[in-house]
Structure 1
Amino acid sequence: MKNIIYLAVACVMLFTTGCGDEFLDTENLYGKSLDTYYSTPTDMEEAIAGVYNAIYTPNVHSNESMAANLLSDMMLGGGGPDDKSAKWVDNFEDPLEDTYRDMWTQSYNGIARANAIIEKTAEADFSTFFASAEEAQEFKNQQIGEALFMRAFFYFRLVKFLGGVPLITAIDDPKDGPRNTITETYAQIASDLKLAIETMPSTPFPEIPTSSYGHANKWVAQAYLGRVYLYYTGYMTNMEGQSTDVLPLADGGSLSASDVAGYLSDCINNSGHELASDFRNLWPYSYVNISAGDTTVLPWAHENNLSWVGQDGHSPTFGTGNYETMFVQRFSFGDWGWNNGNIYTNRLALFTGVRDNSMVPFGQGWGWCPINPNLWYSWDAEDPRKEGSILELGNAAQGAGGYEADKGDHETGFFNKKYIAIQHRENGGDVKGMFIQLYNWGNTDMQLMHAQDFIFMRFADVLLMHSEITGTADGMNRVRARAGLDPVAYSLDALKQERLYELAFEGLRWFDLVRWGDVESAFNYTLDVRNSGIDAKYSPNYRSEIKGLMPFPETEVRLSNGVYEQNPGW
């Protein structure tokens, strides 16, 4: 079984999240504290694992990928009659007063741990652990750079969903300050990313060891700077009515479109990342026929000679390796006796699996996020990404011939194919989850079998962002060429369409709609659906007063004694 990258590191959590004064005079029984930690490579491995661990959220609605997909115009609420929370989020209602509190709590856990690394590692001397002073300094720079990136990552997660949040950038900063503005929050994010880029080594991706897969690096920080620039300038211009084309920095400076395009150009030209030869090889369904040894399992994949590139970086285990994936959330397995339950399994794949249908190669799930059929019918059949992204239920060539309808709500006949339960017969015997077989895990429970990485950033997005920022077609047409499509002239409409088709169901569509100011028009439709066997109408209810933001956790509003105000419309 693969190593779990984002470990829960108890010792790190204990002394980076703070404690009361009554503990200050107690004896340290474990020999580690803010004064003695961050002094060895092992310390740093544990500390940075604690930062990455904060990506995981116990409440599924606080999971960024799940929340963003439910909010998207291309996915419906779905589920069964009891899955009311999915329908409420999808309909821009708040299921609970603390729907997104786990996102808040975990993000600030990660920020606190990153702050400790940034401050304490600057004082550390790693020279005795490396052959040269240069190697020691490079190691140190990488640790600080990763912490800077992750602090930016967590603040970006918060500001996208909740708007401006309190900025805590040092261990001793007060924890009860007011919310900073959206602009101030983005200025801190941009400054952290800029410094992370300047701090981390310029090691090309193929030379980065596979043991570091899942960790941030200079190229990931450059890519995220592009995403942050586009979201901030778009949001302020189209949602706040404050037109801008620059990204502010915390010191009062700013980054222009040209500045950010330069970072993306460096990433494109020097990172070593490349597009996979076939878009469909990025997704686990393309591995099924090889692993099962049965070309009848998914005839469409076999006929197209699909071959999964894997998800362990540039390891040659699968084909030529995965040079496209840049930054991911890693997942593993679980057991019901574990305290974390199933938090470290990919619940997006579980929840968006086909409800109460166990087919080969597609396993069952909870039926959330069925696909808007308008996307299927408007998508050119000549684009291989259409069938590479959407599962047409009832289609035997797609492995869904055994589909039984009327098991859930908001049924449209389509589900996403990128993040879905994948299974096949093990050596011709019992049907087991694909990742269960790959990593020899014992518990075959369908709820615990999802170890597929969630891809936060891939190289195709870097190319599309570069085209959008520069107003040129090169990056966009490079993505189209991979899909076998002819080049087109650049226009924002063409770019929007390309992002929809290339990045569908990857948790980006909602944020694109918001930053483009297209969010109101995108939800102006009505669909015919089936709700547990009954014909019904579906019509989303986006409300302009929320300005693309979700409700601030009510518990935090109450605990602040009036310091925090609830977001408009909630």
Structure 2
Amino acid sequence: MKKLIYYLFAGLLLWGCEDFLETQPLTDKTSSNFPQTAADAEQMMAGIYTIMNNLQHQVDRSPFFIWEVASDDKLGGGGMNDIQAQSYETFQFSDNEMLLHSWSVLYQGVHRANFAIENMPLLADEVVSPEKKDQFTGEAMFLRAWYYYQLNTVFNEVPLKITTENVNLPAATADEIYGQIALDLKNAIGLLPDVPYTETQQGRITKWAAQALMARIFLYYTGFYQQSAIALPDGGSVSKQDVITWLEDCYANSGHELVDDFHELWPYTNRLTIGDYQYIQDYMTETGKTLKFASDDGARNPESVFVLQFSNFANWDIRRGYSNTYQLFYALRGLQNLENTYPFAGGWGQGNSIPTSLVEQWQEDEPNDVRLWASVMDIEEEVIPLGYQRGAWDFVLESNYWGKKYNGVTARDTDGSLKNDYGVLMHGTSDNNQLSHTDDLVFIRFADVLLMLSELKEDASYMNEVRARAELDPVSYSLENIQKERRYELAFEGLRWNDMRRWGAAFAKQALESQVGVAVYNFGVEDVHDALHPDGYSARYDATMGFFPIPQSQIDLSEGLLEQNAGYSQSGEGLYRGWSN
């Protein structure tokens, strides 16, 4: 398995206590005697990384999950009581503390990053080399930027804490937040090793990831907030040309590249499953190709620029976040017989129901795009013939289309029995549908780098590299073409929502309204979808600008420094009371 995971587990043991810096943990490590050794430095860094796994303790309240359901790519789904998943569709909340987990865990990550940034220079050079200290500091700055990006895109203006000092701060402006994010990423680019990704440790942040994330935050900030550059707190700035230069460096020197075939990005092509998956067998017969999962047996996917990794030692305690729980929540609902959904696993059926409007638009725009059925499962074609039953566990907002990318994937043992995940056989995970998933959650892949370069440079050549892999004809550059290409190449990867927002309120509202009237099944019965808030999608977007409520407990603790976000400030405003359609 992936080496860094073991470092992360060591860090988890150290940092698991909420009040690490204020209490005396069993390890006897406190802020007065930690870090002192090279191992301490590794553990300190591991504690920052583990935050990404800890967010998964409540997947349906995590930023990635929110980004997916809030967009026009997904419906909330689930059962009558899965009100968190459904509430994101129209920017509502189920209770005042609905997003406390994400708020708290992300700020834990910020604090850990601050601690590392402050303490790394204090380590003697003979304990940790200057080069390694630079690398660790760059990683910490990247992760602080990543955590603040998530805080801002979910909660809007939030306190900006860049030291470990325990102070009560008001919300910073978006300009201040993105200025600090951009400064952190600029520093990370300069501090992280300037070597191809193949010469770095798998799972660690690289210079190339920092360059790519800089492009993402630049496009979001300048689009959503209508700015031309990012002003830095040190008096400098990040311009469009700066970002282009960094991305061109990533393109030319990172060593990252597109995998040969789009299907090879996704776990249903793993060596234990591919031989029994009829869709892939038919595709290989038609094309004459032989496919191989890019991450088989822990191989390093050349297209993965920034990912969250998982391991084979997840359990029910603090290590639960070491199984990819998105693959459980996004799995077909009902835990039906695995033969009825093969090769896809069963699970909670939340946040992975795809509006028919997306499929219809995709077929109209790109009728020969192999990425459609590589990304989308046609329920009637693929699993109804196997015995899959609609409406399991009071399933609502069930579309005829389901996302493949992050649905868990099963495999047969030598005796013919099906395991809950192919990782049981390949990686030795527990044969438990809630703990067995080890596939990376990909935050940035190289195809996104190419598409961002196209958009920033207004140059179709990079976009056409992505299209060529999908065996599509080249197109000229236009914003409309890049918008379509990003949607189809990067569907269901957590990007569509903030793309919609940065392209303007009119674009976002038109996209959201496309979900009204799509065909769904509620409790297994055909129905038509409508917005889950009586005011509708557009009115709720206008009221909230796509942000979600700050946990009330954090507003109370701020002693008047924080205010509730627009659209949630009045009593009961935006409250989702549960399924009633």
Which residue in 2 is equivalent to 1:207? Answer: 199
Which residue in 2 is equivalent to 1:435? Answer: 423
8 Å CA contact 1:418, 1:505 repeated in 2 = yes
8 Å CA contact 2:37, 2:127 repeated in 1 = no
Please tell me the residue identity of whatever aligns with 1:223: A
Please tell me the residue identity of whatever aligns with 2:426: L
Which residue in 1 is equivalent to 2:158? Answer: 165
> Is 2:446 the partner of 1:450?
no
Pick one of 514, 517, 526 that aligns with 1:526. Answer: 517
Please tell me the residue identity of whatever aligns with 1:547: M
Alignment of 1:171-570 (within 5 A): 171-172=164-165, 174-208=166-200, 212-237=201-226, 244-287=227-270, 290-291=272-273, 294=276, 296=278, 298-300=280-282, 302-303=284-285, 304-310=289-295, 315=299, 321-333=300-312, 338-340=316-318, 342-356=320-334, 357=336, 358=338, 359-368=341-350, 369-379=352-362, 380-396=366-382, 401-407=386-392, 408-432=395-419, 433-441=421-429, 443-517=430-504, 518-524=507-513, 525-540=516-531, 541-542=536-537, 543=540, 544-570=542-568
- Secondary structure (helix, strand or coil) at the match of 1:522 reads helix
Deviates more, 1:76-85 or 1:513-522: 76-85
8 Å CA contact 1:39, 1:126 repeated in 2 = no
> Is 2:43 the partner of 1:46?
yes
> Is 2:24 the partner of 1:11?
no
Provide the C-alpha distance between the structure 2 equivalents of 1:148 and 1:350, rounded to a whole number of angstroms.
Answer: 31
Provide the C-alpha distance between the structure 2 equivalents of 1:30 and 1:505, rounded to a whole number of angstroms.
Answer: 41
8 Å CA contact 2:223, 2:503 repeated in 1 = yes
Provide the C-alpha distance between the structure 1 equivalents of 2:82 and 2:517, rounded to a whole number of angstroms.
Answer: 21
- Secondary structure (helix, strand or coil) at the match of 2:380 reads coil
Q: CA RMSD in A?
A: 2.3
Q: 1:428/1:118 Cα in 2 relative to 1: closer, same or farther (>3 Å)? A: same
8 Å CA contact 2:16, 2:318 repeated in 1 = no
Provide the C-alpha distance between the structure 1 equivalents of 2:80 and 2:480, rounded to a whole number of angstroms.
Answer: 38
8 Å CA contact 1:361, 1:399 repeated in 2 = no
Q: 1:265/1:298 Cα in 2 relative to 1: closer, same or farther (>3 Å)? A: closer
How far the C-alpha of 1:401 sits from its partner, in A, is 4.0
Provide the C-alpha distance between the structure 2 equivalents of 1:490 and 1:554, rounded to a whole number of angstroms.
Answer: 46
Any idea what the Cα deviations from partners look like across 1:497-517, whole Å, max 9, x if unmatched? 000000000011111111111
Q: 1:41/1:409 Cα in 2 relative to 1: closer, same or farther (>3 Å)? A: same
How far the C-alpha of 1:428 sits from its partner, in A, is 3.8
Alignment of 1:142-161 (within 5 A): 142-161=135-154
> Is 2:95 the partner of 1:96?
yes
Q: 1:141/1:116 Cα in 2 relative to 1: closer, same or farther (>3 Å)? A: same
Q: 1:233/1:343 Cα in 2 relative to 1: closer, same or farther (>3 Å)? A: same
Q: 1:561/1:300 Cα in 2 relative to 1: closer, same or farther (>3 Å)? A: farther
Please tell me the residue identity of whatever aligns with 1:351: F
- Secondary structure (helix, strand or coil) at the match of 1:456 reads strand
Q: 1:295/1:328 Cα in 2 relative to 1: closer, same or farther (>3 Å)? A: closer
Any idea what the Cα deviations from partners look like across 1:268-294, whole Å, max 9, x if unmatched? 111111111111101001115x55754
Provide the C-alpha distance between the structure 2 equivalents of 1:538 and 1:276, rounded to a whole number of angstroms.
Answer: 37
Provide the C-alpha distance between the structure 1 equivalents of 2:26 and 2:390, rounded to a whole number of angstroms.
Answer: 59
How far the C-alpha of 1:35 sits from its partner, in A, is 4.0
Please tell me the residue identity of whatever aligns with 2:29: K
How far the C-alpha of 1:30 sits from its partner, in A, is 4.3
Any idea what the Cα deviations from partners look like across 1:215-270, whole Å, max 9, x if unmatched? 11111000000001001011102xxxxxx211121113211111111111111111
Which residue in 1 is equivalent to 2:579? Answer: none
8 Å CA contact 1:557, 1:565 repeated in 2 = yes
TM-score with structure 2 length normalisation?
A: 0.88
Provide the C-alpha distance between the structure 2 equivalents of 1:485 and 1:264, rounded to a whole number of angstroms.
Answer: 24
Provide the C-alpha distance between the structure 1 equivalents of 2:18 and 2:547, rounded to a whole number of angstroms.
Answer: 32
TM-score with structure 1 length normalisation?
A: 0.89
Unmatched runs of 5 consecutive residues or more in structure 1: 130-135, 238-243, 316-320
Q: 1:479/1:439 Cα in 2 relative to 1: closer, same or farther (>3 Å)? A: same
Q: 1:128/1:386 Cα in 2 relative to 1: closer, same or farther (>3 Å)? A: same
Any idea what the Cα deviations from partners look like across 1:28-65, whole Å, max 9, x if unmatched? 97453334323332112111110011122232233222
How far the C-alpha of 1:448 sits from its partner, in A, is 1.8
Q: 1:297/1:274 Cα in 2 relative to 1: closer, same or farther (>3 Å)? A: closer
Q: 1:296/1:498 Cα in 2 relative to 1: closer, same or farther (>3 Å)? A: closer
Provide the C-alpha distance between the structure 2 equivalents of 1:260 and 1:507, rounded to a whole number of angstroms.
Answer: 22
8 Å CA contact 2:312, 2:427 repeated in 1 = no
Which residue in 1 is equivalent to 2:107? Answer: 108
Provide the C-alpha distance between the structure 2 equivalents of 1:287 and 1:458, rounded to a whole number of angstroms.
Answer: 19
Q: 1:269/1:302 Cα in 2 relative to 1: closer, same or farther (>3 Å)? A: same
Of all paired residues, the percent bearing the same amino acid is: 36
8 Å CA contact 1:410, 1:529 repeated in 2 = yes
How far the C-alpha of 1:331 sits from its partner, in A, is 1.9
8 Å CA contact 2:91, 2:547 repeated in 1 = no
Q: 1:333/1:272 Cα in 2 relative to 1: closer, same or farther (>3 Å)? A: same
How far the C-alpha of 1:100 sits from its partner, in A, is 1.6
Provide the C-alpha distance between the structure 2 equivalents of 1:345 and 1:29, rounded to a whole number of angstroms.
Answer: 26
Which residue in 1 is equivalent to 2:578? Answer: none
Which residue in 2 is equivalent to 1:318? Answer: none
8 Å CA contact 1:286, 1:301 repeated in 2 = no
Q: Which has the higher contact order (CA 8 A, sep 6+)?
A: 2
How far the C-alpha of 1:12 sits from its partner, in A, is 4.0
Q: 1:17/1:383 Cα in 2 relative to 1: closer, same or farther (>3 Å)? A: same
Provide the C-alpha distance between the structure 2 equivalents of 1:548 and 1:312, rounded to a whole number of angstroms.
Answer: 40
Q: 1:13/1:559 Cα in 2 relative to 1: closer, same or farther (>3 Å)? A: same
Please tell me the residue identity of whatever aligns with 1:560: S
Q: 1:16/1:267 Cα in 2 relative to 1: closer, same or farther (>3 Å)? A: farther
How many residue pairs get aligned? The number is 538
How far the C-alpha of 1:81 sits from its partner, in A, is 2.5
Alignment of 1:134-145 (within 5 A): 136-145=129-138
